[in-house]
Copies of this chain bind each other. A is one copy, B any other.
Amino acid sequence: MTNSVDAVTRQMQERIENYQRRFGVLFQDYFKRLRQEFDAPKLSRFTPRSFDLLEDLSLRGGKRQRVAFMYEAARLVTSEPVPGIDEAALSIELLQTHLLVHDDIIDDAPTRRGGTSTYYSYKEEFPEQPQTALGLALLAGDLAAFLSLRVLLEADLPLSLRQALVETQVTAGAATFVGQMYDLERDLPALPTEEMLHEVSDYKASRSSALAPIQLGLLAAGEDVKQFDATLRRYALMFGISGQMCDDYLSLFGDEKVTGKPATADVRDGRRTYAIRAILAAADASERERVESILGRQDASADDIDTIREIARRHGVDQQLRSQMHRYAEEACVEAASWRPRWRDEAVTFFERIPVWGVERTL
């Protein structure tokens, strides 16, 4: 049993690495072509500079989980190459670039994906003109969003497919924007409900990072996506909650060197993540007061984080979070299992395994 599981995991890992390589080349070519073809003002140096920064951030993308989801979704239907799938992959990652660029403005975040954020690159270039830096980052993000749609509109595909792909991305984008608003709203009440956090996770992440990629892959492979709307949404939701819990857990309990994000970040920003919420819910009155006194303080230190971690461990919150993220990953797995025998076994297996694998890789 263990051996065969290992074999499947190895195979899955190989497939993901394969997609990463393939997509890396594709994405580099895309930016090369963009520079040649984009109708930019001749005298402007700011336009090519924005391409540099968008390319830099885009190519830094690590796991390309969205891309793997999309290729595997097409494989649910067929093992043959599917036209339009590469354009859909580019569109997904360009929309992601858009979201990250704007997210780093919203969070005033200096780093992203182990490098300087687009916003801070501009801040470094215009140290005396903060509004110029803000403006350029905002516009570079806007541009990435429209490029993500343009790449689909220009794809050599039947009109109806092209339109379905564009619609999927526009819907995913709009959902993400309201999800991000909701994410800001979440930090206002003292103790957001779990239901609220699930809804945030759904709108902010699941729809653009899991649901849309699966929909795009299925559409490109000729599947009628609407028919499977409910099960795809459930899968994306459960997977998304599990993934968000992993992220929130790692932000607090993880190794900064691995996450590439300081453990103080969420606390300083007063983010009421799954982890923080669970701690506040479990803590007694005096502990809660202690945690609240640290949350949102810009000078929160490593010692403060240790204090919060200690309170968490005292109530078994770290353990509780780990078991919860497992539970949601397993619910996603069960949902994917229901896709047999309608869809191809090897791809169903991928979607079954990846949620739990994601959790296990995290811990």
Contact = CB atoms under 8 A, between A and B. Distances in A.
Given A41-B203, A163-B159, A166-B153, A184 B132 contact: yes
Contacts of A196: 43
A288 B145 CA distance: 41
A138 B178 contact: no
Interface in A20-56: 38-47, 50
Contacts of A145: 142, 145-146
A71 B110 CA distance: 46
Interface residues of A, number: 58
Contacts of A173: 142, 146
A110 to B, nearest CB: 14
Contacts of A181: 44, 46-47, 50, 135-136, 139-140
Interface string A177-188: 111111011000
- Copies held by the complex: 2
Judged by DSSP, the binding face of A is helix
Contacts of A200: 41
A303 B174 CA distance: 47
Interface of A: 38-47, 50, 102, 105-108, 131-132, 134-136, 138-140, 142-143, 145-147, 149-150, 153, 159-160, 162-163, 166-167, 170-171, 173-175, 177-182, 184-185, 193, 195-196, 199-200, 202-203
